[in-house]
Amino acid sequence: MSSILVGIKRVIDYSVRVRVKPDGSGVVTEGVKMSINPFDEIALEEGLRIKERGVVSEVIAVGVGPEEAQQQLRSALAMGADRAVLVPAEGAVAPLTLARVFLKLVQRYQPLLVILGKQAIDDDNGQTGQMLAALWDRPQATYASKLELEGQRARVTREVDTGLETLEVELPAVITTDLRLNEPRYIKLPDIMKAKKKPLETVSLAELGVEGAVASARVVTYTPPPVRSRGVMVKSVQELLGAMNQRGVI
């Protein structure tokens, strides 16, 4: 049997209100709760369910980021991943660099599937899965809301503007996950304790033969969204139309 590689990214928890630094150089991360990217958590849950059906023998969680990302990889191990790999990298990592890292790990572990979240909630690039499929020269099915495996083929259902679209791809393949694919399991205290004994390997970019890509775009400044004005209560349609006319909407 084979394995499944799952991407895990460290991001500010989705429930935290993001604040921009006073000098506009970035967002505040000191003392802020960090978690697994929600789409990556869904990808991990799907990989674990596939393993529990006996299709693969192990699930490997992969993180590319700062040393602190070990915390999120330990959470992935507590959820049920068999082992984890951290590729240390500081600052924002370009999607193409991420894809090249995963390609090297694919060549090392020969997985049946690579499952990634469709995007990260911090940068919203949504490019790594597609780039990996191109570099690997294997099929891809993105934005999966349902995944079924039959032999050496995967059937993926995804939501499109006109309804539902079903794709069938040959394995191995790259799958990216949408929110409706599943609901990730809760981590129990005994699983957290067991995760401390599971292997977490650190592999450098140099060991993988991957060079950090020079970003094609440079962030000049961060600006918080404008404060929304308070709503106005109206008592009738006529009053609503008058207010809209006064604001120049109609």
**Per-residue pLDDT tens over the stretch 35-49:** 999 999 999 999 999
d(CA 104, CA 114): 12
d(CA 73, CA 62): 8
One-letter identity of residue 61: A
Provide the pairing of β-strand 200-202 with 83-88: parallel
- Output the CA angle 135-37-152, nearest 5 degrees: 45
pLDDT at 113 over 90: yes
pTM of the predicted structure, to 2 decimals: 0.85
pLDDT digits (tens, 9 = 90+) for 84-105: 999 998 878 889 999 999 999 9
Place of tokens 């990217």: 37
Mean pLDDT score of the chain, rounded to an integer? 90
From the list 123, 173, 108, 178, the residue with the least C-alpha distance to 11 is 123
Provide the pLDDT for residue 22: 87
**Span 53-65, average pLDDT:** 94
pLDDT digits (tens, 9 = 90+) for 169-222: 999 999 999 999 999 999 988 989 888 899 999 999 989 988 865 566 778 888
**Span 228-249, average pLDDT:** 84
Beta strands in 37-187 (DSSP E): 56-65, 83-88, 113-117, 140-150, 153-160, 163-170, 173-177
Provide the residue ranges of all domains of the chain, joining segments of one domain with +: 2-215
Q: Does domain 2-215 have CATH number 3.40.50.300?
A: no
Provide the pLDDT for residue 24: 82
Query: Helix (H, G, I), strand (E, B), or coil: what is residue 119?
Result: coil
d(CA 70, CA 68): 5
d(CA 48, CA 67): 25
Provide the pLDDT for residue 112: 94
pLDDT digits (tens, 9 = 90+) for 118-155: 999 888 888 999 999 999 999 999 999 999 999 899 99
d(CA 143, CA 177): 5
Better pLDDT: 32 or 46: 46
CA atoms within 13 Å, Cβ hemisphere of 207: 11
Of the ranges 3-7, 13-17, 27-31, 150-154, which is most confident? 3-7
Backbone angles phi, psi at 78, to 5 degrees: -65, -35
d(CA 157, CA 72): 28
Provide the pairing of β-strand 10-12 with 2-8: unpaired
d(CA 222, CA 16): 17
Residue 108: which pLDDT band, with cuts at 50, 70 and 90?
Answer: very high
